[in-house]
Structure 1
Amino acid sequence: MMSVSAQLVEEYFASGTLTGLPDKHFIGGSWVAPAQGGKIPTFDPGTGRAFHDFAAGTAEDVAQAVAVAKSAQRDWGRAKALDRGAILYRAAMLLRQEAARFAVVESLDSGKPLQEAEGDVAGAARTFEYYAGAADKMQGDTFPLGADYLGYSINEPVGVTAHIIPWNFPISTAARGIAPALAAGCTAIAKPAETTPLTMLMLAELLHRAGLPAGVCNAVTGTGQAAGAPLVSHPDVRHVTFTGSVPTGTGVMQAVAPNVTSLVLELGGKSPLIVLGDADLDQAVDGVIGAIYENAGQICSAGSRLIVDRRVHGALVERVAERARGLQIGHGLHRAMLGPLNSDAHLAKVAGFVEDARSRGLSIATGGATTTDPATGAGWFHEPTVIDAVPALDPIVQQEIFGPVLAVQVAEDEDHALDLANGTEFGLVAGIYTRDFDAAHRMARDIDAGQIYINEYFAGGIEVPFGGNRKSGFGREKGLVALQSYTRVKSVAARIASHG
């Protein structure tokens, strides 16, 4: 019998679309048509062709979503934590049951290989499961004020929260923000990226089917200017979680400032993957390939800079380049090893970085050109690229490319590798490959980044806090610490009258 995934893939390539895709906002527990009736096409990056239209939201739609979220806030915030957790757990189970459809839609909308989308959906389900277990474990404290006083604290939900979802990991990013917000008793409004709107809409509806009351989680689609901007600046939104570029993130900071709204920013990165001279090169090569070519390098925490000890530089770069050349390029639904970039505009941006590097005389060890799906001659693809021996201040090192482009930097020793690692304005993550326990943890201590991986890039899971320093943003998502963004502490101190 053909699997659900295979049936959906067959349906898409036979018809050019999928039946039942959402084309309206999800507000107040129902599908709601856009106030002004507008529609926006969403494209399949593997073919460059539009396959569906969705709602073009405006400030009117945002206002409606905020109003229903605000109305739902009181009851949801006062619901038993056990009941909130039970709903999140049912959502996790439903997401696992419907994982095949979610993964196919995620792959189709974003372009990423289906096997990667399947991993994202599984991770999203695990996220709801994790915060389901955390919901009834957020406890206050008591304060030692002496025998005549009682002092205690209460963790209260902050209120209505807004979630601006990026296009590179739509369902993953949505889950890691919305799940802790709901667990903490907040209501949520999500605005997915205009190039990847579908799985967020599907997720909002799934949460409602899992038992989430109407209005507690809403999804409004549209452009950043027409829908995102009025959402983050709305005075009834009390917290914003934003994932995206540094320029847009600074704009969000300015937008929320007049309302004194709290904010988590997960912005760009130019993360180093450091290979010291004693490292296991087989392990390191695997790490480098996954770190830069997963999702075609469209990952904020991608290991986009390989900092390698000069003693193993030549051997490592040769092996990485050979592996990169062997990556099969193709449509995401065909489970290719390297999928397309998310849009034609982004492809042009990535290609521009590489062409500028070539014009400066940098050595391109492999790749370096745009391409198409070999099976169809269509789509927005870029060859997996390695640029060798890049100077520390070159734009290829200093600027986020957000594509399958690896910059190689040569280090003379451990201290030099550390200087190179800290040599950009970003501080999101870093990877270290070495057999030397002391060296690994010295570097983990001294690298300015929010998360460090040792001998496995992307190690960890929802249990491990994630977020950046400097221009990579502030605040932490994932782990128990993420709940702090969605709660406020109320302290109570009471004098106890003496008896008699």
Structure 2
Amino acid sequence: MSTDSLVSEYFSTGTLAGLPSGHFIDGAFVTASGGRTIETFDPGAARAFHAFAAGDCADVDRAVAAARTAQKTWGRTRGNLRGAVLMRAAALLRAEAQRFAVVESLDSGKALQEAEGDVQGAARCLEYYAGAADKIEGSSFPLGTDYVGFSVDEPVGVTAHIIPWNYPLSTAARSFAPALAAGCTVVAKPAEQTPLTALMLADLLFRAGLPAGVLNVVTGTGAEAGGPLVAHPDIRHVTFTGSVQTGVRVMQAAAAHVASVVLELGGKSPVIVMADADMDAAVEGILGAIYENAGQICSAGSRLVVERSVHAQLVDRLARRAGALRIGHGLRRPQLGPLNSAAHLDKVAGYVDAARQRGLTISAGGERTVDPDGGAGWFFQPTIIDTVSADDPVVQEEIFGPVLSVQVVDDEEEAVAIANGTNFGLVAGIYTRDFGRAHRMAREIEAGQVYINEYFAGGIEVPFGGSKQSGFGREKGLQALKSYTRIKSVTARIG
């Protein structure tokens, strides 16, 4: 079915036919053990449009048991055969891209064109790790003529994946694919706000030839399904994307059974603009960095660190552009979509209201709003808060919305110090025409990834992760495979 037909179906019926409603366990959709369901909401209309299984410990146990059984064969399947399944899944995802994009936009609220990009990125992720599956290899050790020593990279076993609500399909694909390529089995728990595309992806991979039990998805709340999953004694590794506070609890739970952990947590990422920068490129980069997905991105460029001589003109240009952004329901392809939930809208609005009460200058936006066509939804205007001190909450704390905080500096040294002046260290952006300065600053900035003259540069090939309270471990790139393998060393005397 075409994109236009799917969009028309939703706006005429209030839902889409054939949406998944059960857990995906051992190759099939199944109801929750307790028979309970949860509603999922359309953020652009602030209304429920579907219900899905509310899982608990019993459902988690079923899924982990299925994954343990499947691990015995999937872990010994040749890499080229694992890769072939992932490659078929990539082709199938491209063939079904329209439905995945519409469901992703509807469930998360993001603009349809952004969801379409996410689907293509997920397919590329599957292709990338399909090519890596038969290239995981060990090493040999120089022990002299009387010994042979070598290592084997083995799959760690059953892995748990906690998927956030802001990029449900992208985040699922970027952790499922390397785990499956390495020979691990998967039990995933998507966010209760956005469960649908993770379930659809599990079904798609099964249809592409993934054996039953290799990939399982249990839906439900974090407390009733996510907590039991990361604490399950048969889980050997946990990949988590989410808040710092929840990440700490995940790490504590995993420690009880000595499971390894990758944590991709919050961010308060700076975009540094020096006076010699290409201002046209900087404006476009900053707008995308903070207003894509309504700012609901861990790596959003939520702080503008700008050299004083260009501060006024740059903020003026940004404010005019921000005020002109077209707001609307995600399926209508707006430039700025809604926030994901009423509770999150309250959080974002609370930060801006408090900043206004402290006397800070709101140069653009700063208010709640609604979809101009539908008259509802959880929307917040694209906002700029100007000339903020380094210790202010809107600089130090992750707002996770379309709110840009501006910090003014006088030189390169101060720019780096201000950029490093939070507890986060996920990414950073630098705009300057001076090649040497760009790389000096990149060297000194405390972040897992640095973009120069283009924010969000790179792709699945580039390792992604943070430092400080932004977490540890790396997803994407060949580096991600290391999280899902363990080294076994073998030494033999032959002399």
Q: TM-score, normalised to structure 1's length?
A: 0.99
Deviations 1:25-46 (Å, cap 9, x if unpaired)? 0000011110000000000000
Aligned to 1:445: 443
Give the Å deviation of 1:375: 1.1
What amino acid maps onto 2:193 in structure 1? Answer: T
Q: Which of 464, 467, 472 is the matching residue for 2:465?
A: 467
Aligned-residue Cα RMSD (Å) equals 0.5
Q: Which residue of 1 aligns with 2:131?
A: 133
Aligned to 2:248: 250
Secondary structure of the residue that 2:256 maps to in structure 1? helix
Which of 466, 471, 474 is residue 476 of structure 1 equivalent to?
Answer: 474
Deviation at 1:376, TM superposition (A): 1.7
Q: What is the Cα deviation at residue 440 of structure 1?
A: 0.2
Q: Describe the SS at the equivalent of 2:276.
A: coil
Q: 1:408 Cα deviation (Å)?
A: 0.3
Quote how far apart the aligned CAs of 1:396 are.
0.5
| Structure 1 residue 477 displacement after superposition | 0.2
1:294 alignment partner in structure 2? 292
Q: Which amino acid aligns with 1:284?
A: A
Q: 1:370 aligns with which of 368, 371, 376?
A: 368
Q: Give the alignment of 1:7-86 within 5 angstroms.
A: 7-86=5-84
| 2:115 aligns with one of 111, 117, 125 | 117
Q: Secondary structure of 1:358's partner?
A: helix
How far apart are the structure 1 equivalents of 2:269 and 2:479? 23
- Distance in 2 between residues matched to 1:80 and 1:267, nearest whole Å: 34
Q: State the partner residue of 1:390.
A: 388
What residue number does 1:93 align with? 91
Q: Could you report, residue by residue, the CA deviation over 1:199-248 in whole angstroms, capped at 9, with x for unpaired residues?
A: 00000000000000000000000000000000000000000000000000
2:286 is equivalent to residue 325 of structure 1? no
Paired amino acid for 1:286: E
Whole-Å Cα distance in 2 between the matches of residues 364 and 67 of structure 1?
53
1:210 aligns with 2:204: no
CA distance in 2, matches of 1:151, 1:277: 56
Aligned with 2:430 (options 425, 429, 432): 432
Q: For 2:324 and 2:208, how far apart are their aligned partners in 1?
A: 43
Partners of 2:188 and 2:203 lie apart in 1 by 12
Give, in whole Å, the separation in 2 of the partners of 1:103 and 1:190.
20
Distance (Å, rounded) in 2 between the aligned partners of 1:73 and 1:326: 53
Corresponding residue for 1:355?
A: 353
DSSP-derived class of the 1:300 partner: coil
TM superposition shift of 1:287: 0.3
Q: Equivalences for 1:400-411 in 2 at 5 Å?
A: 400-411=398-409
SS in 2 for 1:194: coil
Equivalent position SS for 2:261: strand
Q: Distance in 2 between matches of 1:68 and 1:196?
A: 24
Q: Which residue of 2 aligns with 1:158?
A: 156
The one-letter amino acid of 1:95's match is: L
Matched residue, 1:5: 3
Cα distance in 2, alignment partners of residues 137 and 85 from structure 1: 10
Report SS of the residue matched to 1:78: coil
1:338-367: CA deviations, max 9, x gaps? 000000000000000000000000000010
Secondary structure in 1 matching 2:277: coil
| Partner Cα separation in structure 2 for residue 480 and residue 376 of structure 1 | 45
Any gaps of 5 or more consecutive residues in structure 1? none
Equivalences for residues 161-200 of structure 1 within 5 A: 161-200=159-198
Unmatched runs of 5 consecutive residues or more in structure 2: none
Aligned to 1:334: 332
Give 2:379's aligned residue.
381
> Which SS does the other structure have where 1:259 is aligned?
coil
Q: Deviations over 1:39-64 (max 9, x none)?
A: 00000000000000000001000000
- The equivalent residue for 1:308 is 306
Residue identity opposite 2:215 in structure 1:
C
Matching residue of 1:237: 235
Question: Tell me, what secondary structure is at the counterpart of 1:221?
Answer: coil
**Separation in 1, partners of 2:344, 2:481:** 33
The separation in 2 between residues aligned to 1:75 and 1:39, in whole angstroms, is 33
How much identity, in percent, do the aligned residues show? 70
Separation of aligned partners in 2, 1:276 and 1:169: 31
* Distance in 1 between residues matched to 2:8 and 2:373, nearest whole Å: 16
Tell me, in whole angstroms, the C-alpha distance in 1 between the residues paired with 2:480 and 2:329: 35
For 1:112 and 1:174, the matched residues in 2 are separated by 16
Structure 2 SS opposite 1:400: coil
